[in-house]
Amino acid sequence: MAPLICMITGCTSGFGEAFVHDALSRGDKVIATGRKSETRLVHLKEAGASILELDVTASPAELDAKVKEAIAIYGHIDVLVNNAGYVQTGLIEATTQEKLMEQLDVNLFGPINMTKALLPHLRERKTGTIIFIGSLFSWYGRPNVGPYAISKHALAGFAETLNLEVSQFGIKVLHFDVGHFRTPVLAQAKSRVALKDIDDYAPMINVIAAISPSMHENQPGDPRLGIARMVDMIKGEGMAEGKEIPWRVPIGTDAVEIIKERCEETLRLIEQWKEFSRSTDFPGPKQGFWAEEEKKKASLAKQ
């Protein structure tokens, strides 16, 4: 395979930095982006990456210009890795609208606008791959992680819809539901807690506060191995060689276990409530579009 040209957001630490090193080690070319690039990305430039200052919360017009600047570096881009993000903690009732929007601007609208800026280039070339770093929190929620979970649930919906729209142009979409990996993300989240004094939640917050210190730097996932598996899928090599690549896959043992449990729970729920849920249609056979959909489902079931 010819070397890929990869544009990666959020490269100042964590997964972004690991992505850069893994791609370079495989002979690919990398455009590493982040804020304050000349100071925070200089080590990646020394490692062989091109660097570009970029804030994913910039306006769509500014991002369009940045993507054009990135394309000019090597002449084209094969892979966009939407990695930039952070964890905004806080109880739903206690999180301000301002803090919630800040979370969505980085974790959701940033990837959306970066993707839209690059899509015309990928459509013209009829090839390319768009990566989304999702989270197991797009499958379930936990107290005090609402803003982050909201952003990741929405990102998964965007990625699925995008995949259905752009696969016709030879563009691949990959969404990784990432578990807990030993990156700085939890340490960085400490400075982003958005709480007001609501006494009723004190017992819950006390439990969370007691657990939180033992989580950071004890996460089960090795970032280097997690990134290696993701790049295997992007390139169709290593542990992904010869396999049909799905648009969405969990990364990490805890992600596999939690998502499997959630799927099994959902199947049990559907089975228990299916007659209740099915009791809401108009009488008689389905018509028009809906009839055709029923035929397709019946045909697939026979295969």
Cite the active site residues: 148
- Chain centroid offset of residue 223 CA: 15
Find out whether 227 and 6 touch, Cβ atoms under 8 Å.
no
User: Which residue, 41, 152, 38, 10, is CA-closest to 87?
Assistant: 152
Please state the length of the chain.
303
Of 58, 48, 49, the C-alpha closest to 84 is 58
Task: Strand 50-53: give its sheet, edge to edge.
Answer: 50-53, 29-34, 5-8, 79-82, 128-133, 171-178, 248-251
Cα 235–233–297 angle (5° rounding)? 120
Using an 8 Å Cβ cutoff, are 262 and 255 in contact? no
- Residue showing tokens 């807990």: 180
Specify the amino acid at residue 98: E
Q: Which one-letter DSSP state was computed for residue 281?
A: S
Distance separating alpha carbons of residues 249 and 172, to the nearest angstrom: 14
Say which residues have a Cβ less than 8 Å from residue 32's Cβ, sequence separation at least 6: 8, 11, 16, 20, 41, 44, 45, 49, 50, 51, 52
DSSP state of 171: E
